[in-house]
Amino acid sequence: MSTIERGRSLPQVGTSTRNTIARAPETNAAVTPAVQSNVARVVDGFDANKTTSKAAVSGVFTAPAGSKDKVYDGKLVGANGQTFQPGTPLSDIPAVTPRNNPNATGTVIYTNGMMTTKEKQDSELQALADKTGMRAIGIHNATQGFVSDLLQCVKDKLDKGTNPAVDTLADTVYSELKAGRDVHLVGYSQGGLITSRALSDVARRLRIEDGMSKADVEKTMSRLKVETFGAAAGTYPDGPQYVHYINNRDAVPTLFGLGSKGWTPGDLLRHAGKGAQVHYFSEDTVFSGAHSLTGTYLNHRVPFDQARAGQF
């Protein structure tokens, strides 16, 4: 059976998408932007303005000065900021645990949004573990500055090009399903878009590589629990058990995702997934607060089974 071509080749059944699977965590040295020492010299107005302008756009049009976040793109992230190569068994990754329950059993796999460094994802993993009462493992969606991240979002919407986080998530979900294990996914902002794209990849692989019927694909993928918060995805494949959280004041999901509460013509192009629960709420916040995972969305999150029953 040939592999699926869509900007990249998907692996055959039973093969790995990486030549080497690392079992041990990688060394993550702290990354600190270079700081210039103050020296006694005269700087003319042009040079001073140029320096200020470069600092202003750093992290917007390009990655922040000194940033090496790209090296973590698509890596699995565990406790204490440890990263692991894609393909590492989840059982080999020490997860972030709730601060009030280090012996938690269930595991969520979290994919972050744009403009998020690995260090910021570390704090989001802790917040997610504390809120859900579950162990949390991350798939890192690296940032290279606002414009680069935004262009990647556009490609993800069009299902074009490669995105290491998509590949890692799709491979992880596929492997877990083939092993007969249930999976609980959480995607925030662009992470929800990555989740949608990865799940579509998994559905294609089950259908084409494993020869499953559409009904069998949906039955297999029903073992997936999926939660999205402020996601930028407008469509999701049928099968998984979905719960989508949308703040009506948040432009990301209302303009680029599943829309706001109430029918609009754009809903004809949207699909939350068969049987999905979509929870809309309106929280007045300022600036980016409406889109905040830890400051807004997690405050509205309820236990998964309760949410699936529509009890928010």
Mean pLDDT value across the chain: 83
Lowest mean pLDDT among 102-111, 162-171, 211-220, 260-269: 260-269
pTM: 0.79
Number of other residues whose CB lies within 10 A of the CB of residue 272 = 23
Cα 312 from Cα 154, distance rounded (Å): 32
What are phi and psi for residue 228, nearest 5 degrees?
-125, 145
Question: What are 206-245's pLDDT values in tens digits?
Answer: 999 999 999 999 999 999 999 999 999 999 999 999 999 9
State both tokens at 143. Answer: 């940032």
Kindly list the structural domains of the chain, giving each domain's residue range(s) and its CATH number in brackets, ordered by start.
Answer: 68-308 (3.40.50)
Please determine, for residue 51, whether its predicted confidence score (pLDDT) is greater than 60: no
Question: What are 52-77's pLDDT values in tens digits?
Answer: 444 445 555 555 555 689 999 999 99
Transcribe 74-96 into DSSP letters.
T-EE-GGG-EE-TT--GGGSPPB
For 96-99, the CB contacts below 8 A with 24+ separation are: 96/122, 96/125, 96/126, 96/128, 96/129, 96/135, 96/136, 96/137, 96/138, 97/129, 97/135, 97/136, 98/129, 98/130, 98/132, 98/133, 98/134, 99/126, 99/129, 99/130
Q: Which of 36-40, 48-52, 117-121, 263-267 has the highest mean pLDDT?
A: 117-121
Pairwise pLDDT comparison (59 vs 250), residue with the higher score: 250
Within the chain, how many helices (H) and strands (E) appear? 9, 8
The overall longest dimension of the chain from CA atoms, in Å, is 73
Please determine, for residue 264, whether its predicted confidence score (pLDDT) is greater than 80: no
Please determine, for residue 6, whether its predicted confidence score (pLDDT) is greater than 60: no
Confidence of residue 16 (pLDDT cuts 50, 70, 90): very low
Q: Are 118 and 112 in contact (CB under 8 A)?
A: no
Nearest to 235 by CA among 165, 183, 157: 157
pLDDT at 153: 83
